[in-house]
Structures are given as C-alpha cells and as structure tokens.
Amino acid sequence: MEYQNKLVLAPMVRVGTLPFRLLAAHYGADITYGEEIIDHRLIKCERRVNEVIGSTDFVEKGTESVVFRTCLEEKNHVVFQVGTSDAVRALTAAQLVCKDIAAFDVNMGCPKSFSISGGMGAALLSKPDLIHDILTTLKRNLDIPVTCKIRLLKSPQDTVELARRIERTGVSALTVHGRKVADRPRDPAKWNEIADIVAALSIPVIANGDVFEYEDFQRIKVATGASSVMVARGALWNASIFSPNGKLPWEDVKREYLRKSISWDNDVKSTKQTLKEMIMHYSCLELPEGKAINKACNLADLAKLYGEEKYYQSVRGSCLF
C-alpha cells in the first residue's frame, strides 16, 4: 500500500460496504475504506468463501449475518477499519481479516455516543497510552500496514503532540479529519491545523474534510501539504467525484451502485440505507423516490424502481442467491 498522491474513500457507517467501495474505485478512488466494524462483533465471525458470487465473507456465527464482505478485485486497495478499545481484541480481529485486505485502520475519530461510550473512536484521543498499546501491538504482529484516523484536539499543539506519539508507534500513515469532536459537519474543516501536523511528521498524512468537487482534492493537498486526500460526504453524494473527467449525472451513479449491489447480493437494508443517503443531498425522502425506496422489500423492487429489471434478471439467471 502506497500513501502518496492517493484519492481515498472515507469510512462511512452503513455505506462503506463492498458495492459502494467498488463504485468509488470504478470512478477513480485509489484506496477505499470499509465502514467501521466493532472488534467484539468481528471476532464472533468465521471466514467463508462465497463461491456463488466470488466474495470472501466474514459471517457472524449463529446468525448467518455477513459482517464484512470483500473480493479479490479490491484486495490491493481496501482498508478495514476497526472500532476498538483494547489491544488484544484489536489484534484478534485483525488476524481474522488480514489476509484479505490491504491495510488495517483503527478508528480514533468517531464522535458518536455509541462509539465513545464503549471507549472507542474519539474516546481514544484522551488516552495516548492506550493508543500506543493498540498500535504497537498491531504493528508488531501484522505484515500489512497499520494506520489510524483521528480528529483535531482542543489546541493545535495538543494534536501535533498526539500525532508525533502515533508516528513513534511505527504506523504507515495517519489520517486527520480537520474537525474537533464537538464540531458539526456544517462547521468548516480546519485545513491549517492539518498543515501543522503534516509539518511535524515524516510519515504520510491523509487530509480529510470539506472535499466536494474533484478540484478540492488538489486545493486541500496544496493547503495542507498532505500526502493524500480522503473524502466522505462528497463521495456519498456523487461517487464519481473521483473522476478527473468530471462528475457523471447523479441518476447514472445511483443505477451503477444498484447494479453492483445486485451483483454482490448486498443486504437490501444496507442498499436502501445507502440509496437514501445518496438522495438526501439532492432530494427529499418524502418525495416519490424516497417513499418507493422505503417500501422496497428486496433488490428486485429496487431494480424495478430504477429501471434495472433486465440487469437483475441477467444476474439472477447466473447466480441463484
């Protein structure tokens, strides 16, 4: 895994499943992060090869629920992000998936209550000793790159100090979301504080925050000096943001996402959630499209909604899900 001059899809809960990761890569993303998965859940899984669709699945024992699905097509650029508060559990989870991914990332920036209450995500930012324990344990025992993603602390000096300590663990790269824990998405990302971190470190820094057009990749890179750039909402609203040729029509992107969801037998609840997230920026869920998504019971219903019945039938004919 290289971290220089890369366009990166951010980890997004309930969105960063295999179809969306492949969608982003299709349009030009160099590195794609999966959604955060909690270590407790992953270590309850077993690895299975799904020969019907050609995927590798990590299935929760006793439930048949697919917790993480990947494939050979993305093996060299997919990053697994874990939610953890314990070095041993993090390593146990990593050892289960490490042969099927390109890198392993620890979430240290999620501000959501469910994450913080479990001592994960942004809760780790105030526990540098635990951060050191988790990252050094992973680094000593894994043959793939280990990285982490943080948010800004209360002062630029505090963030730089933490970043330097993270660098000393031997991680391959550090992603910095240019907002503090208390900041909301509407608050502007502080690119200047990311620049302070870049100047203080020798490892690659991935800058994240306020990238909504292809041109923004270069703007934030110049402003911060970061090695690479990560995008979340901009990719969610139109994954073709990664294309240097300009964004494709929104309708085309949605249909391409649905086709990939059909091909990879994506969970219908996950597919519906992602489609709703994709349209919320441009539309209203109370309009006919949003209501139709809510009413859909399966992928066939969604295929009919978006005029992809023939594609659905062609896939169903060759893959009996």
Q: How do residues 64-100 score in pLDDT, each as one tens digit?
A: 899 999 999 999 999 999 999 999 999 999 999 999 9
Per-residue pLDDT band for 160 (boundaries 50, 70, 90) equals very high
pLDDT digits (tens, 9 = 90+) for 98-147: 999 999 999 999 888 888 888 999 999 999 999 999 999 999 999 999 99
pLDDT of residue 320: 46
Q: Is 132 annotated for ligand binding?
A: no
Q: Rounded mean pLDDT of 279-292?
A: 82
Q: Report pLDDT for 192.
A: 97
The predicted-structure confidence for 34-52, as pLDDT tens digits, reads as follows 999 999 999 999 999 999 9
Mean pLDDT of 303-320: 86
pLDDT per residue over 233-248, tens digit each?
999 999 999 999 999 9
How far apart are alpha carbons 208 and 192 in whole angstroms? Answer: 12
**CB of 72 closer than 8 Å to CB of 101:** no
Q: Is 149 annotated as a binding residue?
A: yes
Active site residues: 110
At residue 312's C-alpha, the angle toward residues 291 and 272, to 5°, is: 30
Average pLDDT, the chain: 95
- Provide the pLDDT confidence category of residue 319 given band limits of 50, 70 and 90: low
Average pLDDT over residues 287-297: 93
User: Contact, 122 vs 109, CB < 8 A?
Assistant: yes
- 232 among the known binding-site residues? yes
Long-range (24+ apart) CB contacts under 8 A made by 210-219 are: 210/178, 211/241, 212/237, 212/241, 213/241, 213/247, 214/241, 214/242, 214/243, 214/244, 214/246, 214/247, 217/7
pLDDT digits over 171-203, tens only? 999 999 999 999 888 999 999 999 999 999 999
296 is in an annotated binding site: no
Q: Assess contact for 156 and 196: CB atoms under 8 A.
A: yes
Residue 253 pLDDT more than 60?
yes
> Per the annotation, does 140 bind a ligand?
no
- Reply yes or no on domain 7-242 having CATH 3.40.50.300: no
Of the chain, the percentage scoring pLDDT greater than 70 comes to: 98
Instruction: Write the CB contacts of 180 (distance below 8 Å, at least 6 apart in sequence).
Output: 151, 152, 153, 154
Tokens of 319: 């893959």
- Which residues make up the CATH 3.20.20.70 domain(s) of the chain? 7-242
Q: Answer yes or no: is 95 a known binding residue.
A: no
Mean pLDDT of 245-266: 96
Q: Cβ(145)–Cβ(105) under 8 Å?
A: no
Residue 11 labeled ligand binder: yes
| Whole-number pLDDT of residue 64 | 87
Query: Is a pLDDT exceeding 70 seen at residue 321?
Result: no
Residue 190 marked in a binding site: no
